[in-house]
């Protein structure tokens, strides 16, 4: 039986949130269904086990929920010191620095880039920590046999950074994120709205994701307030309290809800008329593809490869801080006319097709 070791900062057995968490869960699920043995190295999460996978082992590194990525990396080094793997086991890491502890392992190594984590480190941690991380990232990319980037924009970004290192740049391949399209069929919109406290007549913009600085959500809160529509924010993160206070200061119609398991995302999206993303940078956000699969037009900043699927006047609009309010007002009046185009374009992101491509590099 072929074996894959997946490294990610999540626990696919429990409530799955965030783009990387969802990607890792879907990858593990696909591989186990195809007869692979999966060893998943991840972080401790609160909550009960709700996802049961066959041929699946979980190695829990962090002993407490919400421990830092520094602790996770330190524990990866400890694990690598004592871990014994078959020579044919493939190591698939969801960040380049997490592959570094396995540098001396002879196994085939794959890294997936879910956007530029380096940008986030500089934004959140400052210059010194950013420089340290950049060295770890470079080392991880040098160690990897294959580097999978989830968007063409992200591939080009990294090729630019490492343009003088052909040994690194030749490893890059772009494989977009996939989703389970079947989950978005036959969802009862009225039932979902009732479940989450919305009326049939409400005009609702929905956002699902982490509440972090790079998501730039204060722009979305203000725009929805100015457009006179309700904003449904589903997620958790370090900016949560700040965003709640900001929304309250505007007296906006912003409803916050804790993060939900990936299986409930279709019902959450069904509450909305529009999905919105105001991030400063992304790769190819899973939730944008999911929103399109749910038939929702998307308002988004021009990040990653989003412009390839959010097509002005057909599946939504690419916006900036200056025009987002006007675009929301315009789109909310005729959003139902975008439904068929949105569903059609989402069908090119079937998870089975994506995983078939990933598996070829194992």
**CA pseudo-torsion sign 211, 216, 221, 224:** negative
In this structure, the answer to whether residues 168 and 46 fall within a common structural domain is yes
* Structural domain includes residue 355: no
174: pLDDT strictly greater than 80 = yes
Round the CA-based radius of gyration of the chain to a whole number and report it. Answer: 20
In this structure, the answer to whether residues 219 and 319 fall within a common structural domain is yes
The whole-model pTM stands at: 0.78
* Structural domain includes residue 54: yes
For tokens 């950049």, the residue is 134
* Structural domain includes residue 284: yes
State which of 153, 175, 197 marks the end of a domain. Answer: 175
In this structure, the answer to whether residues 128 and 26 fall within a common structural domain is yes
State which of 146, 175, 204 marks the end of a domain. Answer: 175
3-state secondary structure of 51: coil
In this structure, the answer to whether residues 200 and 343 fall within a common structural domain is yes
Contact 120, 155 (CB under 8 A): no
For the record, the structure tokens of 348 come out as: 């090119």
The CA-atom distances, in angstroms, between 9 and each of 13, 68, 83, 90, 273 are 13, 10, 18, 18, 32
Q: Which of 64-68, 110-114, 147-151, 262-266 shows the lowest mean pLDDT across its residues?
A: 64-68
Structural domain boundaries enclosing 322: 181-348
In this structure, the answer to whether residues 196 and 331 fall within a common structural domain is yes
Contact 276, 203 (CB under 8 A): no
How confident is the model over 324-333, as pLDDT tens digits? Answer: 999 999 999 9
In this structure, the answer to whether residues 300 and 205 fall within a common structural domain is yes
Q: Which of 39-43, 60-64, 265-269, 356-360 shows the lowest mean pLDDT across its residues?
A: 60-64
* Structural domain includes residue 360: no
Enter the DSSP assignment of 179: B
* 271-283 burial code (b ≥16 CB/10 A, e <16): bbbbbbbbbebbb
Contacts with 40 (C-beta within 8 Å, 6 or more apart), sequence order: 5, 6, 8, 11, 12, 24, 28, 56, 57, 58, 59
How confident is the model over 135-161, as pLDDT tens digits? Answer: 999 999 999 999 999 989 899 999 999
CATH code, domain carrying 325: 3.40.50.2000
Which pLDDT belongs to residue 251? 95
Contact 260, 234 (CB under 8 A): yes
Contacts with 217 (C-beta within 8 Å, 6 or more apart), sequence order: 207, 211, 233, 239, 243, 278
Contact 269, 209 (CB under 8 A): no
How confident is the model over 195-249, as pLDDT tens digits? Answer: 999 999 999 999 999 999 999 999 999 999 999 999 999 999 999 999 999 999 9
Q: What does the DSSP assignment read for 278-319?
A: --S--SS-HHHHHHHHTT--EEEES-TTGGGTS-BTTTEEEE
* Structural domain includes residue 105: yes
In this structure, the answer to whether residues 167 and 265 fall within a common structural domain is no
Consecutive H or E run containing 276: strand 274-277
State which of 118, 152, 175 marks the end of a domain. Answer: 175
Q: What does the DSSP assignment read for 322-342?
A: TTHHHHHHHHHTSGGGGHHHH
In this structure, the answer to whether residues 24 and 100 fall within a common structural domain is yes
In this structure, the answer to whether residues 75 and 140 fall within a common structural domain is yes
* Structural domain includes residue 359: no
In this structure, the answer to whether residues 188 and 322 fall within a common structural domain is yes
* Structural domain includes residue 361: no
* Structural domain includes residue 336: yes
Rounded-to-integer distance, Cα 296 and Cα 336, Å? 8
In this structure, the answer to whether residues 230 and 99 fall within a common structural domain is no
3-state secondary structure of 31: helix
Contact 56, 29 (CB under 8 A): no
In this structure, the answer to whether residues 299 and 322 fall within a common structural domain is yes
Average pLDDT on 69-77 reads 92
Domains contained in the chain, number? 2
């Amino acid at each position: 039986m072929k074996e894959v070791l997946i490294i990610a900062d999540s626990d696919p057995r429990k409530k799955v949130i965030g783009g990387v968490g969802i990607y890792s869960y879907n990858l593990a699920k696909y591989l186990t269904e195809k007869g692979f043995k999966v060893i998943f190295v991840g972080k401790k999460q609160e909550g009960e086990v709700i996802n049961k996978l066959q041929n699946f082992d979980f190695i829990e590194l962090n002993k407490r929920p919400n421990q830092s990525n520094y602790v996770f990396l330190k524990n990866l080094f400890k694990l690598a010191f004592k871990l014994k793997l078959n020579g044919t086991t493939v190591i698939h890491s969801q960040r380049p620095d997490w592959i570094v502890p396995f540098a001396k392992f002879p196994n085939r190594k794959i890294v997936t880039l879910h956007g530029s984590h380096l940008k986030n480190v500089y934004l959140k941690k400052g210059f010194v920590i950013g420089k340290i991380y950049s060295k770890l990232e470079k080392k991880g990319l040098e160690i990897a046999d294959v580097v999978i980037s989830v968007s063409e924009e992200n591939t080009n970004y990294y090729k630019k950074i490492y343009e003088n290192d052909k040994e690194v740049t030749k490893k890059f391949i772009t494989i977009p994120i996939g989703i389970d399209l079947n989950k978005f069929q036959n969802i009862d919109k009225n039932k979902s709205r009732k479940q989450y406290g919305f009326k049939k007549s409400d005009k609702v913009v929905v956002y699902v994701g982490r509440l972090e600085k790079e998501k730039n959500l204060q722009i979305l809160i203000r725009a929805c307030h100015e457009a006179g529509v309700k904003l449904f924010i589903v997620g958790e993160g370090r900016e949560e309290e700040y965003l709640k206070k900001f929304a309250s200061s505007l007296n906006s119609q912003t409803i916050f809800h804790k993060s939900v398991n990936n299986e409930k995302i279709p019902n959450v999206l069904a509450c909305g008329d529009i999905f919105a993303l105001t991030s400063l940078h992304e790769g190819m956000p899973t939730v944008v593809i999911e929103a399109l699969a749910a038939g929702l037009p998307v308002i988004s900043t021009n990040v990653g490869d989003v412009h390839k699927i959010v097509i002005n006047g057909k599946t939504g609009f690419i916006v900036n801080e200056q025009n987002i309010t006007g675009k929301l007002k315009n789109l909310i009046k005729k959003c139902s006319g975008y439904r068929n185009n949105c569903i059609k374009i989402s069908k090119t992101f079937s998870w089975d097709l994506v995983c078939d491509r990933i598996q070829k590099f194992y």
